[in-house]
Structure 1
Amino acid sequence: MDTLYARAGGAPAVTAAVEALYRVVLTDDRLSPYFAGVDIPRLKDHMTALLTQVLGGPSAYTGRDLRLAHARLAITPPHYDLVGAYLIGVLAGLGADDELLAAVRGVLAGTEADIVAGSIAP
């Protein structure tokens, strides 16, 4: 089957994207406070599994529900959008095609209510 995951380059590409994403996010002073005291290697593993699953790869995500995992963080819409923009930029920089980028944008739009503080699920 020709999945976005396979077309993106599989596990090596997803791992590279997650590593690049967190390099940027963790050095951004607007975002880094969200990660204080967080087990970053574990977080990267969860994000890798989640992105893999979203792109049609093996379903290995075993993390908490997104709403529960982010509830205490009080994430603002601008910060959510910034992380999303970084993710899209990282993927584009790694050669992701328009279909993959559109799929990720769709996931970002669909999960915003679970991550942003005060959001109301549709």
Structure 2
Amino acid sequence: MLYLLGVDLYTRIGEGPAVTAAVDALYRVILGDSRLSGYFAATDVPRLKEHMVALLSQVLGGPQDYSGRDLRGAHLGLGITPADYDLVGAYLLGVLAGLGVDDEVLTAVRGVLSSVADDVVG
């Protein structure tokens, strides 16, 4: 299930180019963190990034192009801990803040992260 926040937010962050920049920066940080990089050892990272751009765009109210698995199915069996989930969320918020995303958007993203945690952790 996807959690839409409103077209306004996608436009305000800079649309596709900004989302792509955020996802690229996010995965540079994640893959550089030894606590998280193991989750991606057998992953096609370029493909994953494409899915993440589509998902994040859709969640922010942009194009409805995400066609990947639902969050629960995509993360099932990975054993993601609450601490690691929180760390990825903190990295995402930090990347967005670093790109100049305003507090209203960051608050909305925090809300989405909170609402989907049970679909990813475990």
Length-normalised TM-score, structure 2: 0.94
Asked which structure has the greater RCO (Cα within 8 Å, sep 6+), the reply is: 2
Match of residue 3 from structure 2? none
> Which one of the candidate residues 77, 80, 83 is aligned to 1:78?
83
> CA RMSD, aligned part only?
1.1
Q: Could you report, residue by residue, the CA deviation over 1:98-120 in whole angstroms, capped at 9, with x for unpaired residues?
A: 11101110110011000000xxx
Aligned amino acid, residue 24 of structure 1: V
Q: How many aligned positions are there? A: 117
1:111 aligns with 2:116: yes
Matched, 1:91 2:96: yes
Change (3 A) 1:75 1:58: same
Separation (CA, whole Å) in 1 of partners of 2:121 and 2:33: 18
1:21 alignment counterpart:
26
Distance 1:54 1:113 in 2: 17
Amino acid at match of 1:98: D
Q: Which runs of 4+ in 1 moved over 4 A?
A: none
Counterparts of 1:32 and 1:48, CA distance in 2: 19
Q: TM-score, normalised by structure 1?
A: 0.94
| Identical pairs, percent | 68
Residue by residue over 1:18-64, the C-alpha shift from the partner in whole angstroms, topping out at 9 and shown as x without a partner, is: 00000000010000000011000110011000100111101111010
Change (3 A) 1:2 1:51: closer
Unaligned ranges ≥5, structure 1: 118-122
Contact 2:39 2:78 in 1 (8 A): yes
Task: State the 1:2 CA deviation.
Answer: 5.9
